[in-house]
Amino acid sequence: MKGSFDFRFPDPDSKNRDSLVIFFSGEFSADSVVKITKQDAEKNLIPSAVYVIVSQSKELEAARSLQDKSIISEIDSFIGSPAEKLQLVSFCGDGTLKIFESGLLILPSIRDSIFSAGMLKIFGTRKGLIASSGNFHFLKPSGDHCDGFIRASNLLIAGEEVGFLALALLPYLTSELKTIYVDTSSISYLLSTAILMSQKFHGCPPSIESFESYAALSESYDFIEDASSIVFISATTSGSLAKKLVNQTGFTETQIVTLFFSRLPAGQIGIFDISGGKDSAIRSFRQNECELCNAGSRLVRIVGDQFLPETPSNEQILIRKADFTNVREEFFAEFATKDILKWSVVANQASNSREHFFIDVSNFLLSPSEKFNNLLDSKVNKFFSRHTRVIIHLNDAGSAALATAIKNRVDCDEQGESDGAVSMFSIDDPKLAEISENHSVVVVAGAITSGRKLLDASRRLRMLSSKSYIVYFVGFSKLPADSDLSQLERDLKMGGHELIVLRKCSMPRITENTLTSWDVEMAQLNKFNSANPFAESGLSPLLKSRIANLNSRSSNDSDSLFLPTVANKQLSLRQTFAFWSGINLSASSATQSDVYWTINSILHDLRKKTTGGLGSIYHTTVISPTCFDRYNDGIIQAALIRSATSLELNYSIDENFSQKMKDVIDSVIENSGSDQGEAVLEFLLGLWVGKITLLSSHVFQIVEKFESALLGDDVKFMLAQIEKKYRC
């Protein structure tokens, strides 16, 4: 164990230079003073003064040792005359600091500066602040949310450092104390050290009891609340625990002392203010007003007497071919490259809302696969009762098309002609009120995203006879998780009904209220659109054309998802696509929407994995920059950028991650005129709108590197906007 603790502090007696403190809580060593003084002077230049702090019982020994000629000579060679530079200081049992030579107390301003600087050094070295990243934040025992919290136990590692911190507690340890309450047992070591240093409790020290923070307030903890007790709270960012103790117990504010704090209400007592430390800012929010939750950050609970969890780490994930599972392969082999998997289509003309991941059931049923036909025949034969006389479909073209396909299979005589025995209605048809006596009904949905419309249909059909049997027939389910589909099935099957799903393809849930990357892109470009009276400046023809495309989206824009190349060429797949390598699909027939669906499905599966994926609670996991080198088709890179969340592309959390992504973007810009840089505008847009985040220093390196390069107007324009964004 190191026998001393040393640090610099801003000496109020010297405006130009810091002073050095060397603290000994136990045994004193003059050789340590010489060694530390030499090392400090070489590293930080000559200090204004050197304060050697020892216990009162060691001051005479220390004074004699420091008068040794060899010691004086060595110190003089490093910092100048010890008589002028060296101050021997002793601490007493009440926490006061006295200058040995004069017997005078150290000035309060110097004492406060010493304690503050020493504590902040310990706080920074021992990582007293547990900080979150953009992916997660913390739920405090108080119920508030925060992006960081103080863990006092991290600061109580080295004996001499604990002794130094204990020194500041001594004024609060009166000889009348019998009980010391602590909110966590982790600070008991600090209190025990302070009790020994005080030398006030000869043979009968006060007991130290942990009341486990807020747990005591929800139970009837048996506090002794008279003048013989005191409460020490390890740390706070708001003072809420002390306030509740005053309100719910007999303790007064003078009996409650907080060790480490960043903010305290007036009247509360605190010892160490950590708010002056580097990177010590902590944001705290009420549960229903949390900005971090609103931004999509995950919540991690702080639990237990030791304030766990441990400091989360940063990780990166490399997307592999194996992440495109056999189930996914089977689905895409059947439905990709056939103009079926579309993007941002108005599925219901009545509501005019767009469906982000749209399956064109109507188009598919014009020429369905043999596999789908066989499955449809099998399910219809099994679940279509002879009592069924009504088919009801949801109010969209895909549902109507699937309902028609089912009707054609059951509403025929032996010659294959329609006999009109089965009627078909839209769910909004007013004639539905006339079918209440039917024994069996089939409700058809071409594709479901949440199941909400099926639940609404089930409520409308409550007017059916109690003898009626309902089969809910779904062509495609896109519900995000199997658990969601299971819950929907339980809800719909109440009363003995049945849910049939022909094909499943779980996808991320994108509602009409979700702000997509296209919404963000549109808002950003509109700031420079000449049609906007508040525009900053004009756009290039390529970007003006992009605004026009975004404004005129129709059901046929499966190839207009991504920004084009700098030569205004549409991004498309080259000869091979790694994730389709085993399913015999033609890259030349693929649309941008097919690729976007594929990448989204992979990322969606990775987010659901509890280990080895993107869904870890305790770690920040980003998509490895290597993925953009491995999958270097511009269309795949664009799909990755658009499909990922901003948290999954936040490389600023780690300098190494940021450097790697900077190198990728450097390469893309350098090759912007060739295939290797065809997605350059997508990368730059990602940086501009904050979808991709790098360290500011790396962004400025990119801007400076290409400041004089021969680049297209669109690249130069976006680089200028990126620099402006990061300069602000």
- Where does the pLDDT of residue 185 fall: very low under 50, low under 70, confident under 90, or very high at 90 and above? confident
pLDDT for 536 equals: 61
What pLDDT is attached to residue 134?
A: 66
The pLDDT value recorded for residue 279 is 54
Chain segment 416-450, per-residue pLDDT in tens: 455 667 889 999 988 887 776 767 899 999 999 99
Residue 335 has pLDDT above 50, yes or no: yes
Whether residue 604 has pLDDT greater than 80: yes
Euclidean distance between CA atoms 251 and 229, whole angstroms: 9
Please give the average per-residue pLDDT across 197-209, as a whole number. 88
CATH hierarchy code of domain 129-301: 3.40.50
Mean pLDDT, the chain, whole residue set = 88
Q: For the segment 149-184, what is each residue's pLDDT rounded down to a tens digit?
A: 888 888 898 999 999 999 999 999 998 999 999 988
Q: Would you state the structure tokens that stand for residue 709, as one six-digit string? A: 């390069």
Q: Which class would CATH give 5-106?
A: alpha beta
Give the per-residue pLDDT at 554.
52
C-alpha torsion sign, points 165, 169, 170, 175: negative
* pLDDT (0 to 100) of residue 619: 65
**What number is the average pLDDT over the span 493-515?**
90
Q: Give the CA radius of gyration of the chain.
A: 35
Task: With cut-offs at 50, 70 and 90, classify the pLDDT of residue 269.
Answer: very high
Question: Is the pLDDT at 390 greater than 80, yes or no?
Answer: yes
Q: Which of 510, 545, 547 is nearest to 642 (CA)?
A: 510
Identify the pLDDT of residue 115: 94
Q: Which pLDDT belongs to residue 135?
A: 67
Confidence of residue 727 (pLDDT cuts 50, 70, 90): confident
Asked if residue 566 has pLDDT above 90, the reply is: yes
Question: Which tokens go with 619?
Answer: 């770690």
Give the tens place of pLDDT for each residue, 20-50. Answer: 999 998 899 999 999 999 999 888 888 999 9
pLDDT at 522: 92
Q: Kindly provide the b/e burial profile for residues 666-692, where b requires at least 16 CB atoms within 10 angstroms of the residue's own CB.
A: ebbbbebbeeebbbbbbbbbbbbbebb
Residue 533 has pLDDT above 60, yes or no: no
256: left (phi over 0), alpha (psi -120 to 50) or beta: beta
Distance CA 500, CA 383 (A): 9
What is the predicted pLDDT for the residue at 528? 86
Query: What is the pLDDT at residue 463?
Result: 82
Residue 306: which pLDDT band, with cuts at 50, 70 and 90?
low
- The band of 290, judged by pLDDT with boundaries at 50, 70 and 90, is confident
Sorting pLDDT into bands at 50, 70 and 90, what band is 553?
Answer: low
Q: How confident is the model at residue 534 (pLDDT cuts 50, 70, 90)?
A: low
Stretch 381-409: mean pLDDT: 90
Query: Is pLDDT above 50 for 555?
Result: no
The kind and range of the H/E element at 41 are helix 30-44
- pLDDT (tens digit, 9 = 90+) per residue, 98-120? 999 888 999 999 999 999 999 99
3-state SS, residue 591: coil
Distance CA 308, CA 154 (A): 11
pLDDT at 307: 57
**pLDDT for 618 beyond 60:** no
User: Do residues 35 and 50 touch, judged by C-beta distance below 8 A?
Assistant: no
DSSP state for residue 183 in the 8-state scheme: S
User: Range(s) for CATH 3.30.750 in the chain?
Assistant: 5-106
Strands (E), 151-228: 179-182, 207-210
What's the fold here for domain 341-504? Rossmann fold (3.40.50)
At residue 405, the pLDDT reads 94
The amino acid occupying position 432 is L
Structure confidence at residue 721 (pLDDT): 93
User: Quick one: pLDDT at residue 255?
Assistant: 94
Strand extents, DSSP E, 478-569: 498-504
Q: Report the range of poorest mean pLDDT among 85-99, 375-389, 633-647.
A: 375-389
Say what the pLDDT of residue 142 is: 76
CA–CA dist 288, 299 (Å, integer): 13
Helix or strand or coil: residue 469?
strand
* Span 679-687, average pLDDT: 97
Collapsed DSSP state (helix, strand, coil) of residue 552: coil
pLDDT at 193 over 60: yes
pLDDT at 257: 95
Helix, strand, or coil here: 476?
A: strand
Q: How confident is the model at residue 609, as a pLDDT? A: 78
Indicate the range of 323-332, 385-394, 557-566 predicted with least confidence. 385-394
Residue 119: its H or E element: helix 108-125
| pLDDT above 70: residue 12 | yes
- pLDDT value for 1: 40
pLDDT of residue 422: 87
